Amino acid sequence: MASLCRRWISAQSPAPAGRRLRVLHWNILADCLAKSSSLLSLTRGFRCEEQVLRWEVRRQKVLEELLRYEPDVMGLCEVDHFEDFFEPELKAKGYQGTFKRKRSPAKDGVCAFWRSRKLEEGVRRGVFLEYGRHRTKAAQVAVLQRLWPTDRQQGKGLVVCATHLRASADEGFRMQQASEVVSALADFARGDEQIILADVNSHAKSAKGMDLNVHDYFRSCGFRCAYRSISDEIPSFTTWAGWASGDFKATCDHIFVSQGIHVSQVLDVPDSEALEHNFPETGMLNLFRMESGVL
């Protein structure tokens, strides 16, 4: 696989004394959703060879990419091989994890992993993100995990939330889901610092005529986007997928942090021209969907 050149961008202000954690978020593309389709086909899928999408082909590459940046905390979504791949493989690399599946008939879900030599497991909570007051079929989920430093003298607890908001919905529905995440965190965290690792399926910039979007909503609730903690600009994309219907290129994957967390570095996205050169259209599936930061 061609190498993607990426650079760390540092904050201008020095990091305060205290523990340092490297945090990663990634939508890894669920095996059950990895379908191939020809260009302009009416069947939803990626315009690439079916072989490229096979889990047996992708899984080791996904694992290598996860470990490349040596994260202390990971939030993954579209996971449908937790028990038979991610949990045992990452356990062998020194990580513990927890998983929450979407409601049936969906087969995938979200998970959080943490490096066990630096962090200890606390209580966790799984939350279904319902549509109004109704029990929602294939409801999205959020997993809230409290973590403690292995050396309790180094600080108080940290709450990590991994979630994935619905793609096939309007912004109003995603705003409701974001509200449920924030409410669950407020009840669960009880004042501890929080990190949200999320594919929000919403553009970072509001659409014309829209006063507020999910990205803006998290900011209005006191959370800061890791990228905007470093710069006023955000990447031009965090996901670039070659669907049969055409390319989807957007900034919808984020790490949000609560007050009290200092973001010292973020990992920039690869150069667009380099991506197009290294990954021609025949191999374009889910080229890039990853955000990583040092907090």
Residue extents of the structural domains in the chain: 19-294
What would the mean pLDDT of 10-21 be, rounded to a whole number?
84
- Count CB atoms within 10 A of the CB of residue 153: 5
Output 96 or 151, whichever has higher pLDDT. 96
Least confident of 86-90, 118-122, 192-196, 283-287: 283-287
Q: For 247-280, what is each residue's pLDDT tens digit?
A: 888 888 999 999 999 999 999 888 888 777 776 5
Q: For 160-198, what is each residue's pLDDT tens digit?
A: 999 999 998 889 899 999 999 999 999 999 999 999 999
Three-class SS of residue 192? coil
Q: Which amino acid, one-letter code, is at 183? A: S
What distance in Å separates the CA atoms of residue 150 and residue 48, rounded to the nearest whole number? 45
The pLDDT of residue 22 is 94
Q: What is the pTM of this model?
A: 0.91
- Return the closest-CA partner of residue 267 out of 68, 96, 95, 124: 68
The pLDDT of residue 287 is 41
The pLDDT of residue 90 is 98
Three-class SS of residue 9? strand
Q: For 83-116, what is each residue's pLDDT tens digit?
A: 999 999 999 999 999 999 999 999 999 999 999 9
Output 104 or 285, whichever has higher pLDDT. 104
Q: Give the model's confidence band at 7: pLDDT under 50 very low, under 70 low, under 90 confident, else very high.
A: confident
DSSP structure class, residue 81: -
What would the mean pLDDT of 33-54 be, rounded to a whole number?
82
Distance of CA 89 to the CA centre of its chain: 19
Does 105 sit behind a cis peptide bond, omega within 30 degrees of 0 on the bond before it?
A: yes
Q: Assess whether pLDDT exceeds 70 at residue 284.
A: no
- Looking at the structure, give the CATH architecture of the domain made up of residues 19-294: 4-Layer Sandwich (3.60)
Output 149 or 134, whichever has higher pLDDT. 149
Phi/psi at 123 (nearest 5 deg)? -75, 160
Contact 173, 138 (CB under 8 A): no
The DSSP string of 245-262 is TEEEEE--EEEEE-TTPP
- Structure-derived torsion over alpha carbons of residues 61, 64, 65, 68, reported in degrees to the nearest 10: -160
* Burial environment of residue 291 by CB neighbours within 10 A (0 to 12, 13 to 18, 19 or more): buried
Q: For 68-88, what is each residue's pLDDT tens digit?
A: 999 999 999 999 999 999 999
Q: Give the model's confidence band at 38: pLDDT under 50 very low, under 70 low, under 90 confident, else very high.
A: confident
